[in-house]
Amino acid sequence: MRPPTAAARTFYCSGMHKRDHEPVFIRSRWGTSRYVYNPNNPVGLALIVITVFVVLGSLFLLGRSTP
């Protein structure tokens, strides 16, 4: 395997972080074979935040619609 070029090293050092290479989904550590969002990845962290807001918004809207 060839070492990365100078341009690739510059791109990696200037804009990308090491945590950007983490997978979005990881296996659960609870002994099951399900996958969970990875908070060490920026996309996984965004999915966690979006999921929380969607669930809270849904619960709020369902609570308002009942008499």
Is position 2 within any domain? no
Within a domain: residue 5? Answer: no
In Å, what is the CA distance from 52 to each residue of 5, 32, 42, 45, 48?
41, 23, 16, 11, 6
Number of independent structural domains in the chain: 1
Residue 1 within any structural domain of the chain: no
pTM summary value: 0.63
pLDDT at 10: 47
Domain assignment of residue 54, yes or no: yes
Summarize pLDDT for 45-67 with one digit per residue, the tens.
Answer: 999 999 999 999 999 998 887 76
Predicted local confidence at residue 16, as pLDDT: 58
What does the pLDDT average to over 8-18?
52
For residue 12, being part of any structural domain is answered with no
Domain that holds residue 54: 17-65
**Average pLDDT, integer, range 12-27:** 70
* Residue 25 burial (C-beta neighbours within 10 Å; 0-12, 13-18, 19+): middle
Residue 8 lies inside a defined structural domain of this protein: no
Looking at per-residue pLDDT, the higher value among 19 and 34 belongs to 34
